[in-house]
Structure 1
């Protein structure tokens, strides 16, 4: 009898050569952790770790681990039956942990490790009913399984156990590697393959230190995954890594997408299923050189959330498909619900399906924001996710099946159909997010391919796809395609969204144009004022007026001379009026101003007042006085009544002319509005008349005698619906126009024409303020998160640094050469460590109750922060008796940063002056005053200094005073400019309601 024998290369072909990609290999190891009842599995990739900086990856879980017997008789055996459901009851399950379905099927998933790297150290400590077992360690080089002609049993794997309270040292790992090298040498004697030299070199260079890794991770893990101190689980140390890992990560970073992580996100379902928290969390952390914290590429926030379902979808479908292929569930189209929706599938002709029963849940977001009911800021968030990870996922017993959900894998051919007609087929794959929920119990005929590239194309999978495609086609035809039986609401809402968006866009464009023109006018005004054009124009007008009046004074005829003088005055006043108009900017009506434009407007008003008081008004008085002087010198009698009447008549004519022009424009607008309303009404009448004529024509062409009563009734209902639809559509538009005009007329009557523009301006101003506030809030959140992360990671890392410096101190005692280096490192570290302690009062979560703070505490805090700068720049920090006696009840996280910011700003401006650099801390019954003898604050900056983005520092971001003022305001305190004490030029006052000072 002949026997089938397996070569060692079978391991390579079933593992490295068969698994589809890096992500599939990682997913297989994550699944193994799930089957071992782990609650956490973490893959840490060190980009320049391992031999030759080629990368090193550590994969750890806190599952039940493997005993030595398990490792040798199951893990090292291909195609084990432990993955079958019959064997599930034999697998150890920790107490109080629910039974999990087994995700593996063939007992070869562990071979996927070979795709991640060439050499692997495995450490596993088992927990069983009798407690913790000894740790099992083994080293494998997957290149040994590539040797042609090598029998599987010729490869020997060195295995060693360690007691319960130990993990291998680096020397222990090297010893295991030596044994594996000996195995490779024995193989080379029988198989003279040149690449075995590379295998041996890899093994000799493979020297991970599990104890160092354990200490490193202990200071950074949020969960305990150590194999010490009662820990259990399985750890894999793999290197040198497959270069594809780094290449894919670099490509993802370069492309700015989720190219690497998209197949690993959402490994376990806690969004679309019933569980709100996953049974197992999976992480992949990328560590670059110098990183204090690894970048977790699988952060759950990168994936979809339950909030996305409820707040960030325009349409939502949820239901189940029974084992006959019939769907029943609920549908939401915008805000309209269709409960009890049924979608039939008749291809199986009443027989049970092979694919079995499953549930369906997915949402859809319109591609155009103007057609979506999702809020603008929320739309941006969900749109980014859809671009990166949009699609329909598949989960079996909560674990994701690859590659379903990958935006590049359109397994339901949604985009293929859409390319034939976007309007006809509606759905776009990248605009969808959701999942199909399967179970091993109900869907056992859906079998994954060996390479983990989806399901095998058997009859069950073909039915599975056809049912889902049928659901999408039915939804499109009935709810989203023109002419469908339930498309009226969808089309109406879309039309309303488009109209509203178009109207808003038009209004925003008009406002933007008006603001731009207004800004240009203000800019021209400033330029002309700064270049002295108004003064030059007045000087020229003065010369002209004097010459005209002098010429009038020499006229012999007294009456003609007086008339010439009055005419010269009138023309001078008219020219002055033109000059005033040239330097007058009118604020656009009904348009809100940005903060910057509002500041320019305020500056314009101040400059305009200055021109009026210092230039225009004095010259106007000068005209009258010049006329009097010339008349007296020439002994000309000027009739003052006639002069006054002439001035008033001239002014009245000018005002009438201006008012007539504006009235003409208003009447023209009213006539245009009237004509527009008339055209709309005529269009509505014509549409209805045309519909009636079309129906009459159809009626005349129809042979009613040849039709059944049912057909006649259907025809009647069709025609009536057409008439009703046309009438209702135009009636609603006319009612809306009528209501708008009526509201406008009422506002005009009650406010003499001012109120409508004021209302529009107020609404637009509020909208702009809210948008600016949202931007400010977002930036503040980002800054807060950055500080929190820095503090957390610094605190975690500093523990090991402290220990290392203590060890270095012990060594330096026996080495005089090391002592100066140790003293320098210790001195600088103590300074750095002091700054870590300064983070403590800034942590709001540690001090959510108000605390008692006194002056000495604030002083000490300031001195700790600025000690080096005070000594380096010779700053003099003075604290008055009033400040030292001050007692305050407040949050340290609010007051301390504000004081620090004020002193930091003072030090910056003081560093540029010579001599005494004084900063003074004072307090009175109203609050704290921080003053200094630096340069004064420009009066123009007094109001702007607390605005976000305003700074006079060359590299300043304009956030310090803004954040301090906002934070203090939120706690009923106030930051403002104060009156500087004698000898100081700048003072800031923090008003504190409950301050107590012993004066």
Structure 2
């Protein structure tokens, strides 16, 4: 007798053993990795995409693929043991000449998980040098409990030409449908009966309607089209609803979608220094967009995220109950050992397991991170936070999922967060298993976690004990060591002070914005009233006999409005730097006010003169006295207003101080008599002494945190130091340093890139030049008109590169006398195309041409190129585009002017700051480097709106000798 296998057994081993969609995809991706693939992907082609009549799901890898023999002897043979033996292959054609890999699969049935994805299925696979293999099957056929495995025909065809797949696909389907030719088995019993008749009908219908639509066929042909193509692809014609819903944008299935994303992210261990270089993606193709589902909600963790962790654990569990490693608490590293007091025996040994785990604080105020860093890490933790398990660098599901808190962190925290510090959602990192070192920690048959055997229970017991003890030692509310709590308190205090300062700064910003918004109306009202008074005064002065009393009120009102002019412009806050937009608006307001003053001042002076002519000396002295007194009164008013504010604030602070102090004293003294009356033993004296001391220390700390700093601050105040100005200057400097540091990293990379590109260009030019030389020897080729164009265009490209190339090599250049004429000719050649394209008039004076500059040639060329390049950009929208180069011999200054956009006065100095730019995507480096380079050469450059230089009323730069 022999065992016979029902077809249902394969269904139970395959789809029946897969817990969920991510597990099914993971199993197939692992098989791809075992086949030495570097790219593992899945594609959902949604109905409507490029005219598709239905949705398709495709999962593929670029592994070594299979020949017909491989398909028959390996893929169709269940439970193959080559992986479970964990034998390393030798580097060869079978490894695609890559380093041998430890196999991720081990049971030999992972391939059957494709049945979970939907039906029917077309498998396509190709090995280098072999024809394409196609296998068509509908896994639901295996659900028939009357069929034995040897009753089933699995159609396979070889294709020497991939293009024939579409025409021969119906033959594959016909071969599969032959499974339904027989109505009865050998005992003359019906094969399909009862409810399974409907199943049979569905399988036949869907096979007959399975077609390779053009977008899908093109994808297949693209994947397998080349002679050296290799890999395996599974095409599912009717994917399950869970796959289809991955493309939906509504919130109804957001949890299910995130479940898939978080389960398939971090497929290989991203936390390790040297990780497996495997690319994974789930591409969604819809009628309106295409994107990778795995990165659609944010990127997964990397090893660099450990640097941002407030707490970092790095060590190893020895498999016997012990841990040894290091703990970084904020910026301090300590050695830490732990031994679980559990009972030990040889059967519970689970092998050495490393752990690397980062932990982030729940509140920004308790973290050393910047606001941006904290927000970024918190977003990642909310999406992907958890403790992952990797075996041989491959993720073991379900560990790391939000619902896979297998060490019960949250359960303990819910009992007492102050004791059980660690939260599952705030951690990120891994426990690293190896098949070789941890053979007893094995997957369940469903691939959904590890089997709960003796070794697993010992392992989890050790890790739980470690985290509980570590929390009690350092992180609990009443921890044995105060390192973490002391540092956390210090950080909290600093952050709370900064938040309070930000709140005050925000209030000032709002007030400043309001004043900016109210300015136009204020100046309109002032101007209307002022001009009305001038008109009235003008009418009065036209009277032949006018007395002082008739114009006295008008003159008084004008004097009052004159004093108010100063207060019309909003005061710029000293404690923070206004935005560029606010400064821009303020600049426009000042311009408007200045124009208003310029407009009315001549008329005001003319009327004053007429008034002097009309009025007697006595009247004028009275008016002068009034004006004098008005200035005194205005000054007194300002000083008294601020003194009143000072008095009110002093009274308020004194009152607040006394109330807070009284509350602290009362807190300590209110129970004094009650405590004294309750003491009846010596032991109680000692106990109450400790409690009172603890309460005293708590109240003292509160006083030191809230009361004393204010007094110390007031003691340091001085009329000679503007504290607001100092604080604002430091804050502005800090923000500028932060911004510059971020930009400096990009600049450094840019410099490296230029060096690499320069080297590569030299080699590339040499190769192209040599190849063109060889081609020119062939008369048939060189006679073509297009070849002549190619030679000419290459020569122009080489000429441009020759112009630019010397600018890279400033350090080796020599100082020499360079004429203005040389600079002018160089610029005309360098900007030849732009000058023609924008119809730019390039003026140059004879004085400029004759002038000699003693400097390194690359430096002066770089300066002029940068300024002219900026000029071209800012002149694009001007009707008249002129660039002018001039030299003023009497003051030895070079002028570079253009008719583009004028630089506002407040920006004239700022444009030379590092990383300051008004151009979209501008780096703000050019003018900074130009100034630095000229300074080193004994020259200086500045921008000006002085009409003596800026004759074109655009941007104007002056180069002069540096006298500092």
Q: Does the pair score TM above 0.5?
A: yes
C-alpha distance in structure 2 between counterparts of 1:894 and 1:378, whole Å: 37
| 1:603-643, Cα deviation, whole Å (9 max, x unpaired) | 34444444555447964884585265143xxxxx7287677
Partner of 2:325: 329
Look up the SS of the partner of 1:235 in the other structure. strand
Change (3 A) 1:694 1:94: farther
In the alignment, which residue of structure 1 is the partner of 2:246? 249
Deviations 1:861-899 (A, max 9, x none): 549xx9xxx7xxxx756778999x999859999999997
2:578 maps to 593
TM-score normalised per structure 1: 0.70
- Counterpart of 2:422? 427
Q: Judging changes above 3 Å, is the alpha-carbon distance between structure 1 residues 235 and 569 closer, same or farther for their aligned structure 2 residues?
A: closer
Alignment equivalent of 2:927, drawn from 969, 973, 976: 969
For residue 513 of structure 1, the aligned residue among 507, 518, 524 is: 507
For the Cα contact (< 8 Å) 2:7–2:148, is it kept in 1? yes
Paired position in structure 1 for 2:306: 309
Seen in structure 2, the aligned counterparts of structure 1 residues 184 and 908 have a Cα distance that, compared at 3 Å, is: farther
TM-fit CA distance, 1:756: 0.9
Aligned residue pairs, count: 860
Instruction: Give the direction of change, closer, same or farther, for the CA distance of 1:282–1:726 in structure 2 (3 Å limit).
Output: same
Distance, in Å, in 1 between the alignment partners of 2:215 and 2:528 is: 82
Distance (whole Å) between structure 1 residues aligned to residue 557 and residue 410 of structure 2: 76
Which segment is superposed worse, 144-153 or 251-260? 251-260
Structure-2 separation of matches of 1:262 and 1:546: 83
1:146 aligns with 2:167: no
- 1:7 maps to which residue? 6
**Cα pair 1:403 1:453 within 8 Å, conserved:** yes
Deviations 1:305-333 (CA, angstroms, capped at 9, x unpaired): 221102x1112223333333333433233
Alpha-carbon distance between aligned partners in 1 of 2:942 and 2:150, rounded to the nearest angstrom? 79
Q: Structure 1 211/667 Cα, relative in aligned 2: closer, same or farther at 3 Å?
A: closer
Q: Does 1:120 align with 2:122?
A: yes
CA 453–227 in structure 1, closer or farther in 2 if over 3 Å, else same: farther
Q: Post-superposition shift, 1:144?
A: 6.4
Q: From the superposition, tell whether residues 340 and 587 of structure 1 become closer, same or farther in structure 2 (CA, over 3 Å).
A: closer
Q: Distance in 2 between matches of 1:661 and 1:537?
A: 26
Cα gap change, 1:586/1:624 in structure 2, threshold over 3 Å: closer, same or farther?
Answer: farther
Q: CA deviation at 1:139?
A: 1.2
Which residue is 2:187 aligned to? none
Which SS does the other structure have where 2:15 is aligned?
coil
Relative to 1, partners in 2 of residues 1:173 and 1:658: Cα closer, same or farther, differing over 3 Å? closer
- Where 2:306 maps in the other structure, the secondary structure is helix
Change (3 A) 1:217 1:75: closer
**1:591 shift after superposition:** 4.6
- CA distances 1:45-102 after superposition (whole Å, capped 9, x unpaired): 5554897452252512335x55654432232111222232376679988599766443
| Residue 262 (str. 1) matches residue 251 (str. 2) | no
User: Residue 248 of structure 1 contacts residue 259 of structure 1 at CA under 8 Å; is this kept in 2?
Assistant: no
Give 1:809's aligned residue: none
State the 1:472 CA deviation.
3.4
What is the match of residue 660 of structure 1?
640
Please report how far the alpha carbon of residue 152 of structure 1 lies from its aligned counterpart in structure 2 after TM superposition: 1.3
| Residue pairs, 1:350-749, within 5 angstroms | 353=348, 355-420=350-415, 422-423=417-418, 425-486=420-481, 488-529=482-523, 531=524, 533-540=526-533, 543=536, 571-572=556-557, 575-576=560-561, 580=565, 583=568, 585-588=570-573, 590-612=575-597, 614-615=599-600, 619=604, 622=607, 625-626=610-611, 629-631=614-616, 638=618, 648-649=628-629, 651-674=631-654, 700-704=679-683, 730=703, 736-737=709-710, 739-744=712-717, 748-749=718-719
User: What is the CA distance between 1:33 and its match in structure 2?
Assistant: 3.1
Q: Counterparts of 1:9 and 1:581 in 2: how far apart (Å)?
A: 92
How many Å separate the matches in 1 of 2:870 and 2:569?
41
TM-score, with structure 2 as normaliser: 0.73
Distance 2:238 2:919 in 1: 49
Q: CA deviation at 1:353?
A: 2.5
* Partners of 1:447 and 1:455 within 8 A in 2: yes
Cα pair 1:398 1:437 within 8 Å, conserved: yes
Query: 1:81, 1:87 within 8 Å by CA — same for their partners in 2?
Result: no
Render the CA deviation track for 1:639-682: whole Å, top value 9, x for unaligned: 87677556545643553344233223324434544555566666
Checking the alignment, whether the CA contact within 8 Å between 2:898 and 2:954 is kept in structure 1 is: yes
Provide, for residues 173-226 of structure 1, a one-character-per-residue CA deviation record: whole Å limited to 9, x for no partner.
Answer: 7547625522422543446732342354256648999997575699xxxxxxx7
Alpha-carbon offset, residue 433 of structure 1: 0.7
Deviations 1:729-773 (A, max 9, x none): 7557666455433432xxx15x2xx52121122234345656877
- Aligned mates of 1:189, 1:491 — CA distance in 2: 77
Query: Which consecutive residues of structure 2, in runs of 5 or more, have no partner in the other structure?
Result: 184-190, 193-199, 752-785, 814-824, 851-855, 888-892, 932-940
Query: Mean alpha-carbon deviation: is it higher for 963-972 or for 452-461?
Result: 963-972
Contact 1:931 1:986 in 2 (8 A): yes
Q: Is the 8 A contact 1:390 1:432 kept in 2?
A: yes
2:55 aligned with 1:54:
yes
How far off is 1:492 after superposition? 3.7
1:760 correspondence with 2:724? no
- Where 1:411 maps in the other structure, the secondary structure is coil
Counterpart position of 1:952: none
Secondary structure of 2:444's aligned partner: coil
CA shift, 1:379, in A, is: 1.4
